[in-house]
Amino acid sequence: MHTFRHAILRAPAPHFAGGITTVAWTEPPSHARLLAQHQAYAQGLRAAGLSVEILPALDGFPDAYFVEDVAVVLPELAVVTRPGAEARRGETEHIVAALAAHRELVQLEAPATLDGGDVMVLGRRVFVGLSARTNAAGVAALQGVLERVGYTVCAIPVAAGLHFKSSVNLVGHDTLVATAAFAGRPEFHGLEVIEVSDAEAYAANILRVNDHVLVAAGFPELAGKLRARGFGLIVLNMSEVEKMDGGLSCLSLRF
């Protein structure tokens, strides 16, 4: 597994509840609760051994704290994406300076659309979800960039869930966590897949960071499966993030 040393986060703006979501709330999202959860998340990353840089909230961009979507960061370079939601495309210019301090940058251009939440890196293989946010041109553009530095890219259709990583995530060098809809995909042949039940589908968005696995609170079945395999868990309340269609991986860029 790759060793991560640094993470970039962005503080949630007070108007975050004006962001894009498909969730029908029973209780409106709370900025105060989100800030507390975001701070606990940052502390979880520190506990996993990362230095954490928190960028200021972006006025006019309520979804900008989902910072993973605006870039794909690899050891060799960082790709600044072109988000699939038009309202989010202005976020990318605000990540450039932070990333340029660490990596050479490549910028995706139209007609490509690609969200970082659709990109999962497994060694030299990169799985990319073809979703409502990432189109075929985005996959092709990313492939053109990454093949030059020795990666292969595999596209996988996403029929349900906002992003590919809403349903599939890396938990070990040859082990995935995945919902039932993705667990049997032929692209994952040779990998162990820990299947997440439909009742705990949200929990599939785990985040492996060095020797720790960050998991959302309230999903004991998956937590039990991971503990049984010897993973050390950091359990975090994600209630306000979930209301905005977000998850653990969305909240940071790790490298």
Task: Name residue, tokens 């869930």.
Answer: 161
**Phi, psi angles (nearest 5°) of residue 36:** -65, -40
* The dihedral sign for the CA sequence 17, 47, 229, 178: positive
* Residue 31: Cβ-neighbour burial (10 angstroms; 0-12, 13-18, 19+): middle
Instruction: State how far the Cα of 171 lies from the Cα of 147, in Å rounded to an integer.
Output: 24
pLDDT, position 35? 98
What HEC string does the chain produce? Answer: CCCCCEEEEECCCCCHHHCCCCCCCCCCCCHHHHHHHHHHHHHHHHHCCCEEEEECCCCCCCCCCCHHHHEEECCCCEEECCCCCHHHHHHHHHCHHHHHCCCCEEECCCCCCCCHHHEEEECCEEEEEECCCCCHHHHHHHHHHHHCCCCEEEEEECCCCCCHHHCEEEEECCEEEEEHHHHCCHHHCCCEEEEECHHHHHHHCCEEECCEEEEECCCHHHHHHHHHCCCEEEEECCHHHHCCCCCCHHHCEEC
What does pTM read for this prediction? 0.97
pLDDT, position 160? 76
pLDDT, position 93? 98
pLDDT, position 194? 98
CB atoms within 10 A of CB 140: 15
pLDDT, position 53? 98
* Residue 51: Cβ-neighbour burial (10 angstroms; 0-12, 13-18, 19+): exposed
Ramachandran quadrant class, 6 (left: phi over 0; alpha: psi -120 to 50; beta: rest): beta
Q: Choose the catalytic residue: 163, 173, 189, 212.
A: 163
Query: CA dihedral in degrees (213, 83, 238, 187; nearest 10)?
Result: -40
pLDDT, position 161? 75
Active site annotation includes 163: yes
Q: Choose the catalytic residue: 2, 15, 31, 250.
A: 250
Tell me the domains of the chain and their CATH numbers: 6-254 (3.75.10.10)
pLDDT digit string (tens) for the chain, length 255 residues: 789 999 999 999 999 999 999 998 899 999 999 999 999 999 999 999 999 999 999 999 999 999 999 999 999 999 999 999 999 999 999 999 999 999 999 999 999 999 999 999 999 999 999 999 999 999 999 999 999 999 999 999 998 778 999 999 999 989 999 999 999 999 999 999 999 999 999 999 999 999 999 999 999 999 999 999 999 999 999 999 999 999 999 999 999
Which one, of 107, 193, 115, lies nearest residue 158 by Cα?
115
pLDDT, position 2? 86
